[in-house]
Amino acid sequence: MIRVAAHAKVNLYLHVVGRRADGYHLLDSLAVFVDLNDTLVVAPADDLALAIGGPFADALAGEGDNLVLSAARALANAHGREARARLTLIKRIPVSAGIGGGSADAAAALRALSELWSVAIPDDLPLKLGADVPVCLAGRPLFMSGIGETLHPAPPLPPAFLLLVNPGVAVATKDVFRARSGAFSPAAAFGEAPRDAAHMAGILRGRGNDLTAAAAVLAPAIREAERLVAATEGCLLARMSGSGATVFGLYAGADEAAKAAASIRRERPAWWSWSGAIRG
């Protein structure tokens, strides 16, 4: 039996820098990971089966397939073998929330099944499963570019903490990109190592998330979440992650992030929130 953690991914900034002839958008983003995670457990079996539990299991109910099973089949096919494993996914990351839950689960499946089956993960396989799967497989702060396939090390990041808030609205990434309009942004990767969380927030203020306007048209609660997070004490930066609808707040201390989470829960008890450290 092999147990793997699938950590949530947060885009501290996300620029759309162009579009390929095939319609795929070209991105520039700084992705980091937090302690919030799904858990995937795999064990030998005579067939391929997936059981799902945890707080967000119901959001995946009725899916005939998902990225975990797709990853298992793709890895098996790459090595000309049968996909045989018993998989159990404990789902703690909200679904379709812009924090890479499905991609992190796919990456966890590749890691766990690579070990279970004693096979290598082909270099081109993660991207075939999704644009965020390569960075989720790496699982550390990285600049992403291209359509997600090009990864560059980020400078050392200071200790910093995030509040994640999701207003309970699932937003499909394809719909957000379809709704996006306007000019493209320049790439904005930086080599400067931030001195502390406040300095990092200052660097990030010169960047943004180019998908926010389109996502907020589809889910207006994103703007309310941004406003509420920005108003919490100690918040250095409030911004949407990925294609939404999760919004993050950046804080210098764990206590500040935890108090902000408590404040949001009082104001919007039906919303989901979490606070913790940026990993690495």
pLDDT in the model for residue 61: 81
Instruction: Mention the CATH class of domain 2-146.
Output: alpha beta
- CA–CA distance, 83 with 72 (Å, rounded to integer): 6
Q: Is 244 exposed, middle or buried (0-12, 13-18, 19+ CB in 10 A)?
A: buried
Residue 9 is a catalytic residue: yes
- CA–CA distance, 261 with 245 (Å, rounded to integer): 17
**28, 38, 105, 132: which one is catalytic?**
132
- CA–CA distance, 144 with 131 (Å, rounded to integer): 10
- CA–CA distance, 130 with 140 (Å, rounded to integer): 17
- Could you list the pLDDT tens digit for every one of the 280 residues in the chain? 999 999 999 999 999 999 999 999 999 999 999 999 999 999 999 999 999 999 999 998 866 668 999 999 999 999 999 999 999 999 999 999 999 999 999 999 999 999 999 999 999 999 999 999 999 999 999 999 999 999 999 999 999 999 999 999 989 999 999 999 999 999 999 999 999 999 999 999 999 999 999 999 999 999 999 999 999 999 999 999 999 999 999 999 999 999 999 999 999 999 999 999 999 8
Assess whether the previous peptide bond of 245 is cis (omega < 30° from 0). yes
Residue 132 is a catalytic residue: yes
- Measured CA to CA in angstroms, residue 266 lies from 237, 263, 269, 272 at distances of 21, 5, 6, 11
pTM: 0.96
The CATH fold assigned to 155-277 is Alpha-Beta Plaits (3.30.70)
Q: Do domains 2-146 and 155-277 have the same CATH topology?
A: no
- Show me where the domains of the chain are located: 2-146, 155-277
Phi, psi of 265 (to 5 degrees): -65, -35
Closest CA to 83 of 46, 120, 29: 46
- CA–CA distance, 278 with 139 (Å, rounded to integer): 11
**9, 28, 38, 210: which one is catalytic?**
9
β-sheet with 237-240: strand ranges across: 237-240, 247-251, 161-166, 272-277
pLDDT in the model for residue 221: 98
Counting runs of H as helices and runs of E as strands, what totals does the chain give? 9, 10
* Amino acid sitting at position 131: A
DSSP assigned state of 80: T
